[in-house]
């Protein structure tokens, strides 16, 4: 079966690719493995030069690349431009800060010289999603390449042209052959790539199902992994908030990237004292959004990336209304060509309903009324996810409680949740583990090597008779490899 690039606004097949066969796939892994050995000899200053050149190419070719993103994924043209520019910012950040992040860390001990050095792990497999086809990839490869790792990219199957374009950009910037390669493969082939002993680690950004599948295999193989998975981010608004700014930001936070963002606000939790005004103005804001051709500058929301996403949202809205929820606006797919869906607001969805705990990946918001700050925090945490949270209050004590008590990988006070190369990015609970971006993201795939250089000092010797010879007891959990492989392939296919 070919891998197809389909314009979500028109349904037109833009281009088709044949998946790599096993022999060619193994050849690419071999090239990456050989490249890692040579890449370590290249000075950090030269890597930084290539990374700056990559940033310059992105800036110079923003318009052409943005058109590609829009045609293949459906995001509005302006948001595509912003994404490409953000990739350039990320490249420059790591070009300028890698030396600081990678520098040895002296640690005072009783010995003469003790420190930690940071060594790259090797070939890293990156399984990336379609919703930010460039940024999701660049926010990993910029720190990875600067650190001396090499990358194999398995991009989502509906954005193959973006995957090919990124490899071409990296090569044009001067990075050596094999340091970054796109693998045009199907989901079922991820298992064999990760199983290859030459692949050292894996990072996944995507659905919970995809994360479970890859994390399970990585754990069995004892390979490091980072998981950035789903989110059902709360947007908490208290009476002390600047309501005008909160409402304006709320509409943007729900519908950014056509509503297809893991850190988009999805559950709006509003104090009872201001709920009525918030609801009315929020619904007005959602209804005012213009849905249409993403290539037009006046469009606010383009199509969803795939037809299946439209079907999934329809089922979730049906489940919400069946459980007692009400639709205040939208709720329907838009008639005509393309994967367009109306901006939608749901209220009265009971917390016992299954859809309450699901991630809705599209321009659909759920509103909830809270009688107090305690209840607002309770509702915010009543989710299996914990990626980000946006909280709105001008009261310092309320801010302290929201920061401390809302369970999330990041809390933004009086601002929309967003990723930034300078800040660690990631979640807790079923939103995943590990961090991307900042120094923490770079070090996620580095070996923190402890180095101790001793001078002539006295060393304490344990008498032989006091040394233990007992073997540690291990609790071994049996592993059904056949059942795992079947579950792996199903989960990754469904969760891509």
Known catalytic residues? 228, 262
Cβ atoms within 10 Å of 327's Cβ, excluding its own? 17
* CA quadruple 334, 339, 343, 344: dihedral sign: positive
Contacts of 440 (CB under 8 A, 6+ apart): 424
Separation between Cα atoms, residue 302 and residue 262, nearest integer Å: 17
Place of tokens 């930084």: 48
Separation between Cα atoms, residue 369 and residue 275, nearest integer Å: 6
| Kind and range of the H or E run holding 421 | none
For β-strands 225-228 and 432-433, DSSP reports them as: antiparallel
Query: In 3-state terms, what secondary structure has residue 472?
Result: coil
Of the chain, the end-to-end C-alpha distance in Å amounts to 16
Backbone angles phi, psi at 329, to 5 degrees: -160, 155
Separation between Cα atoms, residue 5 and residue 12, nearest integer Å: 9
| Kind and range of the H or E run holding 68 | helix 62-73
Contact 303, 258 (CB under 8 A): yes
């Amino acid at each position: 079966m070919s891998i197809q690039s389909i314009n979500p606004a028109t349904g037109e097949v833009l281009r088709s690719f044949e998946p790599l066969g096993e022999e060619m796939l193994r050849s690419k892994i071999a090239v990456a493995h050989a490249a890692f050995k040579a890449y370590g000899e290249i000075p950090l200053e030269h890597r930084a030069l290539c990374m700056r050149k990559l940033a310059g190419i992105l800036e110079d070719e923003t318009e052409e690349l943005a058109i590609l993103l829009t045609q293949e994924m459906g995001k509005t043209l302006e948001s595509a431009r912003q994404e490409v520019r953000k990739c350039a910012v990320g490249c420059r950040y790591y070009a300028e800060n890698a030396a600081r992040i990678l520098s040895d860390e002296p640690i005072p001990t009783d010995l003469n010289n003790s420190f930690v050095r940071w060594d790259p792990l090797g070939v890293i497999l990156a399984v990336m999603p379609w919703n930010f086809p460039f940024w999701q990839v660049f926010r990993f490869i910029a720190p990875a390449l600067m650190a001396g790792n090499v990358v194999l990219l398995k991009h989502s199957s509906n954005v193959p042209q973006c995957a090919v374009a990124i490899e071409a950009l990296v090569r044009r910037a001067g990075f050596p052959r094999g340091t970054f390669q796109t693998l045009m493969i199907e989901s079922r082939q991820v298992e064999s790539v990760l199983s290859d002993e030459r692949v050292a680690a894996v990072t996944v950004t995507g659905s919970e199902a995809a994360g479970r599948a890859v994390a399970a295999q990585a754990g069995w193989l004892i390979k490091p992994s980072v998981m950035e998975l789903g989110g059902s981010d709360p947007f908490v608004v208290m009476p002390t908030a600047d309501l005008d700014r909160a409402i304006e930001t709320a509409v943007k936070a729900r519908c950014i990237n056509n509503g297809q963002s893991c850190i988009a606000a999805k559950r709006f939790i509003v104090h009872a004292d201001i709920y009525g005004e918030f609801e009315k103005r929020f619904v007005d804001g959602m209804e005012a959004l213009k849905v249409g051709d993403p290539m037009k500058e006046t469009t606010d929301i383009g199509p969803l990336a795939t037809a299946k996403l439209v079907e999934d949202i329809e089922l979730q809205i049906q489940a919400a209304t069946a459980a007692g929820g009400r639709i205040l606006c939208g709720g329907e797919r838009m008639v005509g060509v393309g994967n367009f869906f109306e901006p939608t607001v749901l209220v009265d969805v009971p917390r016992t309903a299954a859809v309450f705990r699901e991630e809705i990946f599209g321009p659909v918001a759920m509103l909830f009324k809270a009688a107090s700050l305690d209840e607002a925090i309770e509702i915010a945490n009543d989710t299996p996810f914990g990626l980000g949270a946006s909280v709105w209050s001008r009261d310092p004590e309320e801010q302290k409680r929201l920061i401390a008590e809302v369970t999330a990988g990041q809390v933004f006070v009086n601002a929309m949740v967003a990723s930034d190369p300078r800040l660690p990015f990631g979640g807790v609970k079923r939103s995943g583990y590990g961090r991307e971006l900042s120094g923490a993201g770079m070090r996620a795939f580095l070996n923190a090597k402890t180095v101790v250089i001793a001078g002539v000092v006295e060393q304490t010797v344990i008498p032989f008779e006091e040394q233990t010879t007992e073997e540690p007891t291990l609790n071994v959990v049996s592993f059904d490899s056949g059942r795992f492989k079947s579950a792996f392939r199903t989960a990754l296919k469904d969760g891509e």
